[in-house]
């Protein structure tokens, strides 16, 4: 089964909210946990218990696990496996982007079913050229997995690159060119292609997404300021293919697992069609 089909089925059963697992040092402290591998493991386990049985997609932020070295990576491996065992799709937020054999190695690390870090999808950066992502896109396709390529991010620094014009003969923005390249990979897929894009929910993106035929990860919902009205205005009333992402806005309700579940349910209830 393709990732696009798996994602569509999961959203139909569990809703479209993508739950982030961001063990930020400030959250560890707020939860009364030490800033070490033990605290990390406790944080991650409570998130798994709170979200993995109900969310369609869970998104661990790899950097916060990597910060603890090999012990943190071991926690990340267990977190991925536990979420998948509970039925959630795991979108690993790693934002990798490289060329040739290095890109192929990143792909094997996160998308090869034999890897202990294998997720259901990963985030990728296309700013060495969209074509440089081919090894990851092809390996994802072989294993029924997906990728989400950065197109228009919500950070203010991103505009300098993403809003630049491709060339004097091509009036598109770089971000639109990324969307168009993803659309080419998704052409003819049903119900969705395997190549998604990342478009921040906190600002008007100005992109034509009508031909994408793939999922859109929309970070910034909740604590970063994007509201349900913002999502509707920027992505359409039915949010077709859109995965709003919430992390710290819900995680601040921890460490109690029931409180985390309740906070997640309140957010889900605000989304159109949920």
Give the whole-angstrom CA distance, residue 209 versus residue 26: 36
Q: Find, among 22, 25, 139, 130, the residue nearest to 79 by Cα.
A: 22
Distances (CA, A) of 69 to 25, 43, 103, 118: 15, 16, 21, 18
Q: ∠ CA(126), CA(25), CA(97), 5° rounding?
A: 10
Q: Find, among 24, 40, 148, the residue nearest to 92 by Cα.
A: 148
Which residues are identified as catalytic?
95
Handedness of CA 249, 253, 258, 263 (dihedral sign): negative
Largest CA distance in the chain: 56
- 177: tokens are 């060119």
Do β-strands 165-167 and 170-173 pair in parallel, antiparallel, or remain unpaired?
antiparallel
What is the C-alpha R_g of the chain? Answer: 18
Give the whole-angstrom CA distance, residue 252 versus residue 262: 12
Q: ∠ CA(139), CA(150), CA(180), 5° rounding?
A: 80
Backbone angles phi, psi at 7, to 5 degrees: -65, -45
Give the whole-angstrom CA distance, residue 112 versus residue 101: 15
């Amino acid at each position: 089964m393709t990732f696009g089909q798996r994602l569509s089925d999961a959203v139909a059963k569990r809703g479209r909210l993508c739950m982030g697992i961001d063990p930020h040092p400030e959250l560890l402290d707020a939860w009364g946990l030490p800033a070490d591998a033990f605290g990390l493991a406790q944080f991650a386990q409570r998130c798994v218990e709170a979200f993995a049985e109900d969310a369609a997609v869970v998104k661990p932020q790899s950097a916060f696990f990597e910060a603890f070295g090999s012990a943190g990576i071991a926690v990340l491996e267990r977190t991925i496996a536990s979420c998948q065992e509970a039925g959630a799709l795991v979108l690993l937020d790693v934002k990798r982007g490289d060329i040739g054999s290095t890109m192929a190695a990143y792909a094997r690390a996160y998308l090869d079913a034999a890897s202990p870090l294998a997720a259901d999808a990963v985030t990728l950066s296309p700013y060495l050229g969209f074509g440089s992502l081919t090894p990851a896109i092809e390996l994802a396709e072989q294993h029924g997995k997906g990728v989400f390529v950065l197109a228009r991010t919500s950070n203010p620094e991103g505009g300098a690159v993403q809003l630049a014009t491709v060339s004097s003969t091509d009036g598109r923005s770089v971000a639109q060119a990324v969307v168009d390249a993803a659309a080419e990979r998704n052409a003819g897929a049903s119900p969705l292609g395997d190549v998604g894009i990342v478009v921040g929910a906190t600002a008007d993106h100005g992109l034509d997404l009508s031909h994408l035929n793939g999922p859109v990860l929309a970070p910034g919902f909740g604590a970063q300021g994007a509201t349900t009205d913002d999502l509707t205005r920027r992505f359409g009333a039915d949010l077709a293919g859109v995965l709003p992402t919430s992390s710290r806005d819900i995680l601040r309700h921890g460490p109690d697992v029931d409180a985390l579940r309740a906070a997640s349910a309140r957010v889900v209830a605000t989304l159109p069609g949920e």
